[in-house]
Amino acid sequence: MKLHTLSNPHVYELGLTLFLLIQINHGTIDINLNFGSGGTLTVTNGDNTFADLSTTNLIDIDGTNGDIGSEANPVQFPTADNRLQITTTGGNIFIAGLGSFEPDDISTVDGSIDIEADVNGSKLTIPSSGGGAGIRATGNGNITLSSADDMFIEKFVQTANGDIFIDADSDDDGGGELETTGSGDVSSTGGGTIDVTLAEVKFVGDFNTAGTLIFRQSRTSDTIGLGGIAGALDFSDTELSRFTAGTLEFGRTDGADINLQSVTLSNVNSLVLLTGGTVD
């Protein structure tokens, strides 16, 4: 199944579909797809990109029993100003930004979600504006979020029975801050792993799992500071209080020193510190 860009940049057509409804109404691109027994949405304009879109477009894609993009060839969007609402009830979602990127309502029932903003200098934002409901995998699927430079989570990221992988510094240049707001909680309600790679931290939202919660520095040379002790990557007492986990893990086996003073982890059962240096 192929989605072809027509001469009008706001109209798309899907060949060989069982069902297709496209509505163009006040800057909205509304695409409803029923793949029947399965299929994949791809864009055939050369680079799998929705091109020439107005910065005011709301792109609303609903798929049934099919994938939106693929791991090797995610559907790409050109601008952070396009609001994205993408759902599929029986497949996976693979999307990417050609620059900074703001998907605000992405969900799948039985699949996984992969969202990338990995072009150098790009930021990924899950925005609180626009009415989106955040990023949700309500079955057994995983959620993977990555950005080259900074990630802002302003709406919740949640999986029911899968794992969550977050990389806020995918080019490992030390320029990737992960920032969460009060409504930007990250949780695996079924106790999956939450695995976070970052260079800087600013947390107001909570991280919750009955399983393992991991924070590792993107560069091996960066130290970690816990509980008010300075480090290249440091976590305040307030930020530590936002973590609920069976096991809380910091660092990496090839990483620099970890520095800490007395910390209180009221909602954590065990603490693991990994380093190629020392723990002070």
Take residue 280 and report the two structure tokens written for it.
């002070």
pLDDT at 86: 85
pLDDT confidence band for 23 (50 / 70 / 90):
very low
pLDDT confidence band for 83 (50 / 70 / 90):
low
**pLDDT over 90 (residue 235):** yes
Q: Region 250-258: what's the mean pLDDT?
A: 97
Let me know if 121 is exposed, middle or buried by CB neighbors in 10 A (0-12, 13-18, 19+): middle
Average pLDDT score over the chain: 81
**pLDDT over 60 (residue 29):** no
**pLDDT over 50 (residue 213):** yes
Q: Region 185-212: what's the mean pLDDT?
A: 97
pLDDT at 130: 64
**pLDDT over 50 (residue 4):** no
Cα-to-chain-centroid distance, residue 112: 11
pLDDT at 11: 37
pTM for this prediction: 0.85
CB 141, CB 164: distance < 8 Å: no
